[in-house]
Structure 1
Amino acid sequence: MQSTQIRKFILDNLSEHQKDIVRASIRKFGISRQGILRHLNSLIHDGKVAVHGKTKDRYYEIIPTIDFSKLIPISDSINENDIGVKYIFPYLNQLPKNITTICEYGFSNAFNNILSHSNAHHATIGFKQTSQLIQITIQDDGIGCFENIKDVYGLSSNWQAVFNLVKGKTTVAPDKYLGESLFFILRLFDICKIQANGLCLTRKEGRPEWELNECDEKPGTKIMLFISSNSKKDFYSELDEYSVDMESHRFNRTILPITLLLKNGEKLMSRSQAHDVLRGVNLFEEVCIDFQSIDFVSPTFIDEIFRVYALSNEQIHFTWKNAIPVVEKMIWRTVNRDD
């Protein structure tokens, strides 16, 4: 019984632990390194896992049952639906309907972003499937989505562009688009990674939910979408989390992971940082400030959001989550002020 559980754990977690799956398995099951390696070698022998490199450079990966990629020249004569129907959607036919819906939405909207905003000449699309996981990759050689957002909105850095993208209703063509597609793509999949302009944004189920790191700067934008082949995610249920009125499915609620604004050990100290958080939130009816991974916030930052801005924008309902006790106390003191 435990052998089945161990091997399932290895397969379920290998994509996130290619270099330390042995250590992760030891932590999970409390058995010896030799015991875990025995199960790992069995998966290698069965053709389910591949091993690369030697000693400390060794890493493992699940051998896909499907591994497709295609270089697509970008022109005015193509559209995202035709490309999806021809190259990607046929692989989805045997999957549950909920996964098919999410994958079709993710691919179509990511590829449409290339056609509409990237100024790219080529795109590479990919589809991988293992017994545990579906992966869709869309990569272009254009301007890069973070740089594009920064330039259009006049922001001071690509880090701010990332935060605006995660905030939602951010688009470089507001006369044509609502700024919803990448917002929901990030949240519909188990893992979503967006690499552009020297930054890698990752959103995944669990904690920490959001990560933003520097990476090698390459042309264009690369989007990688991962979803479990056993996922129970429902398209509309996921969207409903961002709707005040769930029956209408209107996108009028957002959650702001403010940890994405910080780099190099910065702290949330000033009203100007609060202004960065609040940029564009007037487009929403409800705004939730997510303090996950935040260990310090100054009173002025809290005051600017929960008193100054909230009082002058009473049509917006502000909430918060994941605040440590001292920050929670500070917020309550601010919102309950009489003056």
Structure 2
Amino acid sequence: MNEIRNKIKKIVKKQGLIKTSQLVSKLKISRQALHRYIKELVNEDVLIKQGSSRATTHYLFNNPSAIKKYHSANISFKKRCFLAGLEEDRIFQEVDKQEGLLAPLKANAKVNFHYAFTEMLNNAIDHSGSKFADILVNVNQRNASFNIRDYGVGVFENVRSINNLNSEMEAIQDILKGKNTTMPERHSGEGIFFTSKLAERFIIGSHRKKVVINNKINDVFIEDRRLLKGTNVYFEVNIDSRAVLTDIFKAFTNESFSFDKSRISVKLFSNGDDYMSRSQAKRILHSLENFKMIVLDFREVKTIGQAFADEIFRVFKKLHPGIKIEAINCNENTQFMISHTELGTIKKAS
């Protein structure tokens, strides 16, 4: 018995990571016999189990150099889940139980990963209308990421249809504001908003559009893509992330913990023209009456028209006196037009 145990340790230590089938082949013993030895070595913390099925189970020698070498490459979790009756936290538990997968994540990163994963999977369960979703989790020495793909109606089309918007582009613009949900009796509409704030990169694609939020450079992009049925969500966080989930909540909530602040990137509302008309301003302001604080980011906006500024900084403010509007990253031209309305708090671009 000790001879076989020693052989197992020697083989795993030499190879680093090995499949059950490879051990069976090398030792010339049955899978059942091997299982008894492996179970003992895992319970004694000599080996680390990686994977949870006959096809994917691997074993790793439990010492720092072997673990470091192992985590220099991607490790992953992959599963197709049927969504009817699915509980998102049960799937996260499966991810977490896969030995070594989330081990590299520091405490804050793991909390953020847990929140984002369960929020995005819950969206697929409740909103997509898809029979199933494909889930992929990858972890390497720097990043942890997940990808959730459903094959349903598509997030942008769902929001467009239920809110009677003119296009999926308008749906994207509303989603980025926060507080937008197609199921208000069960959801606050905050999931995508806060998940996107936690990520280094957050990408959500559906049909022919893709939204890329890159918090490394503090920017948002809307891109065309090849036709995609359903919705694909990608979330990536640094394993050493110091972002604190409660701090993100506090930045956009009031003392009563109500989500009351939205930050809008004005450049995303361009249709190729300058920002001149009242109708363009109304499009930006759509659904923002639910917030108490609106931050309008004018980065990369060259100029705005008097009607555009008047609709936001005089008309809307008069109709909603309890809402504060703050304009940031304004150039000289934009600042002049906003100041001309004598409303709003202006910050020069840094």
TM-score (normalised: structure 1): 0.76
Distance in 2 between residues matched to 1:73 and 1:88, nearest whole Å: 19
Partner of 1:188: 198
Distance in 2 between residues matched to 1:267 and 1:199, nearest whole Å: 22
| Counterparts of residues 160-199 of structure 1 (less than 5 Å) | 160-199=170-209
Deviation digits for residues 32-52 of structure 1 (CA, Å, limit 9, x no counterpart): xxxxxxxxxxxxxxxx9xxxx
2:295 to 288, 295, 320: 288
The answer to whether the 8 A contact 2:104-2:141 is kept is no
The answer to whether the 8 A contact 1:159-1:260 is kept is no
Partner of 2:14: none
Distance in 2 between residues matched to 1:88 and 1:281, nearest whole Å: 38
CA shift in 2, pair 1:208/1:106, >3 Å: closer
Distance in 2 between residues matched to 1:198 and 1:160, nearest whole Å: 14
Displacement of 1:67: 2.6
Higher strand share: 2
Displacement of 1:93: 4.2
1:66 to 75, 92, 95: 75
CA shift in 2, pair 1:315/1:89, >3 Å: farther
Q: Which runs of 4+ in 1 moved over 2 A?
A: 62-65, 87-94
Displacement of 1:74: 2.1
Aligned residue type for 2:87: N
Distance in 2 between residues matched to 1:182 and 1:88, nearest whole Å: 22
CA shift in 2, pair 1:148/1:104, >3 Å: same
Partner of 1:110: 120
Partner of 2:313: 306
Aligned residue type for 1:266: D
CA shift in 2, pair 1:231/1:80, >3 Å: same
Aligned with 1:217: secondary structure? strand
Deviation digits for residues 169-213 of structure 1 (CA, Å, limit 9, x no counterpart): 100011221111111111111110001121110111244611001
Distance in 2 between residues matched to 1:88 and 1:226, nearest whole Å: 16
Displacement of 1:291: 1.1
CA shift in 2, pair 1:89/1:335, >3 Å: farther
Say how many residue pairs are matched.
Answer: 273
Distance in 2 between residues matched to 1:243 and 1:108, nearest whole Å: 21
Aligned residue type for 1:269: M
CA shift in 2, pair 1:315/1:336, >3 Å: closer
Displacement of 1:89: 6.3
The answer to whether the 8 A contact 1:89-1:104 is kept is no
Could you tell which deviates more after superposition, 107-116 or 83-92?
83-92
Distance in 1 between residues matched to 2:161 and 2:236, nearest whole Å: 29
Displacement of 1:336: 5.0
Aligned residue type for 1:302: A
2:326 to 316, 319, 323: 319
Where do 5+ consecutive residues of structure 1 fail to align? 1-47, 49-61
Distance in 2 between residues matched to 1:148 and 1:318, nearest whole Å: 29
Partner of 1:209: 219
Distance in 2 between residues matched to 1:175 and 1:335, nearest whole Å: 39
Partner of 2:87: 79
Aligned with 1:159: secondary structure? helix
CA shift in 2, pair 1:331/1:141, >3 Å: same
Displacement of 1:228: 1.1
Aligned residue type for 1:67: S
Partner of 2:55: none
Aligned with 1:256: secondary structure? strand
The answer to whether the 8 A contact 1:203-1:211 is kept is yes
Distance in 2 between residues matched to 1:88 and 1:138, nearest whole Å: 16
1:156 aligns with 2:166: yes
Aligned with 2:173: secondary structure? helix
Aligned residue type for 2:315: V
Displacement of 1:87: 2.8
Deviation digits for residues 205-224 of structure 1 (CA, Å, limit 9, x no counterpart): 24461100110111111110
Distance in 1 between residues matched to 2:216 and 2:276, nearest whole Å: 27
Q: Which has the larger radius of gyration?
A: 2
Partner of 2:41: none
Partner of 1:241: 251
Percent identical residues = 25
Aligned residue type for 2:129: N
| Counterparts of residues 36-75 of structure 1 (less than 5 Å) | 64-75=73-84
